[in-house]
């Protein structure tokens, strides 16, 4: 009998190491004999990658909060239909850098959209699909921002470049989601070496591993 596929997401604010850990976690799971697909949001399918360019480039006020939420929902819908669901159905594991919880944290940080409104968009665009496990990387916000600046220089994106107040709101929203949904969301300390963080991520997935 084919082992079930699993859908794992990595979440967190700017500079916490999501992209690095997505790659390291994918490698670690493959060494355990799993067939793993690494993907990201916004993106992960041809249509979603096209929308990614619209979302991450241009001035910070290029899109209103509501328009931005609709674009994210559209990109996610294509990603789910064309990449995530087929892989999970085939028994593969998905490791995704960001998913619905990023929309819930970022699009609600301004107070213009509620969590319920964002989840309603997700219900339409992606049939309400939720990950089997979400790993929330926890890291000092100021250090994360400095790490992101060092990484991106002047080439940051229009969302990451928003002010400290915005990113504090994002961090608070992630923490609230984790507190409300402990069965799905596991908070993982993102300090220390990359290898130490990967070990913590694997520990947080231990109950799902075959």
Q: State yes or no: pLDDT of 15 exceeds 70.
A: yes
Q: State yes or no: pLDDT of 167 exceeds 60.
A: yes
Q: What is the CATH number of domain 6-204?
A: 3.40.50.300
Average pLDDT, the chain: 90
pLDDT, position 150:
58
Q: State yes or no: pLDDT of 129 exceeds 70.
A: yes
Say what the pTM is: 0.89
Share of the chain above pLDDT 90, in %: 73
Q: State yes or no: pLDDT of 160 exceeds 80.
A: no
Q: State yes or no: pLDDT of 159 exceeds 70.
A: no
pLDDT, position 88:
97
What's the rounded Cα separation, in Å, for the pair 12 and 174?
7
Question: Helices H, strands E: what count in the chain?
Answer: 9, 5
The neighbour count for residue 77, using CB atoms within 10 Å, is 21
DSSP string covering 133-182: EEEEEE--HHHHHHHHHHHHTT---TTTTS-HHHHHHHHHHHHHHHHH-T
89-124 pLDDT, tens digit per residue, is 999 999 999 999 999 999 888 788 999 999 999 999
Q: State yes or no: pLDDT of 142 exceeds 80.
A: no
pLDDT, position 85:
97
What's the rounded Cα separation, in Å, for the pair 75 and 165?
27
- The helix/strand/coil state of 83 is helix
């Amino acid at each position: 009998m084919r082992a079930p596929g699993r859908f794992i997401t990595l979440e967190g604010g700017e500079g916490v190491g999501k992209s690095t850990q997505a790659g390291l976690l994918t490698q670690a799971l493959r060494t355990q004999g799993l067939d793993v697909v690494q993907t990201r949001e916004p993106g992960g399918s041809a249509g979603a990658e096209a929308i990614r360019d619209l979302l991450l480039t241009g001035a910070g006020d290029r899109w209103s909060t509501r328009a931005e939420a609709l674009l994210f929902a559209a990109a996610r819908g294509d990603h789910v239909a064309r990449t995530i669901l087929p892989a999970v159905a085939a028994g593969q594991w998905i490791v995704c850098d960001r998913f619905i919880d990023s929309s819930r944290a970022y699009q609600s940080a301004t107070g213009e959209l509620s969590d319920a409104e964002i989840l309603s968009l997700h219900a339409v665009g992606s049939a309400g699909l939720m990950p089997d496990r979400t790993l929330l990387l926890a890291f000092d916000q100021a250090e994360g921002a400095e790490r992101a600046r060092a990484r991106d220089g002047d080439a940051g994106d229009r969302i990451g470049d928003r002010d400290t107040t915005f990113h504090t709101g994002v961090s608070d929203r992630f923490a609230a989601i984790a507190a409300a949904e402990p069965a799905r969301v596991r908070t993982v300390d993102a300090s220390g070496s990359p290898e130490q963080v990967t070990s913590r991520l694997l520990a947080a997935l231990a109950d799902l591993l075959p």
